[in-house]
Amino acid sequence: MPYYIGDVIKESKRLVIRTPEEFKKTGIDARVKTNVESIDAQKGLLYLSDGSNLPYDYLVMATGADAVRLDIPGKDLEGVYVIRNLMDTLKIKSYLNEGGCKKAVLIGGGYIGMEMCEALRNVGVDVKVIDILPRPACRWDPEFSKLIVEELGKNQVEFLPETKPLSIEKGKECRLKLITSNGELDADMVMMGVGTRYNTALAQSMGIEMGQSGAIKVDFHQKTSREGIWAVGDCCEVFHKVARRWVYFPLGDIANKQGRVAGQNVGGAPVEFPGIVGAQAFKVFNLEVAATGLTEEEAVKYGFEPVSSLIWGLPIGRPMATGEKLGIKLVGDKKTGKLLGGQCIGMKGAVQRVSALSIALWSGLTVDELGYVDLPYAPPFGGAWDAIHIAAQDLVRKL
């Protein structure tokens, strides 16, 4: 019988999503609100926080990652949050429902910051985003970040660049006061969205090998270095098909796929997880922001000779356009002519383009070929020459 053991999360608590009874119906012995305290890999035995132990033949580690909580004074004050799991969300929601939360400061202009500022504005909270970097969404080109800052501004969200959080105190006008390198900010809520860190302590305690990134090393079957032990999701690495190496890339869709692959393999159906190309997206108010593959900096790091091109096109046919903008940046490799990465931003059609670019990367297409690929054309959805073609042909001239 397969066992399911609640994720080891930082708070040593686990929200019950399904009851053990519900799990039992599907043939799974679920131990929720239960931590694995230690593992005896020789005996194949788990020691649980409820004092019991469980034997195993196969073990799948899905210990995930934690949201990083900046180690600054006041980090644990009431009203200071990270957001990682359902429990975090419920805490934040109940804090908001109590009322009186009028101002929030989000630390970090990444995914969490961008998505939360929209969510908080939607419930009428005044929002500021601060970042130690000069711009939000740094994975994207500076021109695109500029558009994001504009979009934030249109929605009354102020972005404060190069602003380092120093400490959090109880406030007077608001419940909290965030002291930064650029002055003080009043806030009823401070949310930290400054990255995640894999949970690998259990795996390390068993001598399982870690990869270069520091996360658990796995193979294409999701096997760890230790026979019978598998790892999936945000605690382990994944193969990046464009970078041609194992990387740490903690995204939910990847975790889902790895889980499925590990499950099939454990169940006796050998399946390989081919890897990723780095596809990712977020929405901030009315902007779609998406990227795939490598940035120029990553490409250099991985031994490519990147050349890039950024164009502003249209997400729909010119005769139908009414001022929509679509930015596409492509990165190609001078040595091989291959596409290395792409990013896209716009009110519509950005994710559509990055979906197509992701499969182009997956398949190892050259930029030249991308300039002629066959895409579904109709004026409501693009030009006869799609923005992808125009961007690719522009890049071809530089390669």
User: Site residues (CB under 8 A) for a second copy?
Assistant: 241, 251-257, 261, 273-283, 288, 290-292, 351-356, 358-360, 362-365, 369, 372-378, 380-381, 384-386
* Pick 182 or 366: Cβ nearer a second copy: 366
Token couple for 360: 């182009």
The full DSSP string for 209-227 is PB-TTSSBP--TT-B-SST
The nearest distance, CB 280 to a second copy, in angstroms, is 6
Token couple for 206: 């068993």
* Pick 188 or 386: Cβ nearer a second copy: 386
- What is the rounded CA–CA span in Å between residue 140 and residue 110? 10
* Pick 46 or 396: Cβ nearer a second copy: 396
The nearest distance, CB 290 to a second copy, in angstroms, is 5
What 3-state DSSP class applies to 126? Answer: strand
The nearest distance, CB 285 to a second copy, in angstroms, is 11
* Pick 296 or 369: Cβ nearer a second copy: 369
What 3-state DSSP class applies to 261? Answer: helix
Beta bridge partners of 47: 38, 53
Closest of 173, 165, 43 to residue 106, by C-alpha: 165
The nearest distance, CB 109 to a second copy, in angstroms, is 16
The nearest distance, CB 398 to a second copy, in angstroms, is 16
R_g of the chain, CA atoms, integer Å: 23
CB atoms under 10 Å from CB of 374, counted, come to 5
The nearest distance, CB 189 to a second copy, in angstroms, is 22
* Pick 1 or 269: Cβ nearer a second copy: 269
* Pick 74 or 278: Cβ nearer a second copy: 278
The nearest distance, CB 282 to a second copy, in angstroms, is 5
The nearest distance, CB 365 to a second copy, in angstroms, is 7
Closest of 389, 308, 309 to residue 356, by C-alpha: 389
- What is the rounded CA–CA span in Å between residue 222 and residue 232? 6
* Pick 48 or 281: Cβ nearer a second copy: 281
* Pick 214 or 274: Cβ nearer a second copy: 274
* Pick 181 or 363: Cβ nearer a second copy: 363
Give per-residue burial for 293-319: e unless 16+ CB within 10 Å, then b.
Answer: bbbbebbeebebebbbbbbebbbbbee
Asked whether 66 and 84 are in contact (CB, 8 A), the reply is yes
The nearest distance, CB 28 to a second copy, in angstroms, is 20
Q: In the chain, what are the helix, strand and coil shares in percent, each to the nearest 5?
A: 25, 30, 45
Token couple for 225: 């270095």
CB within 8 A of 226, min separation 6: which ones?
41, 206, 207, 208
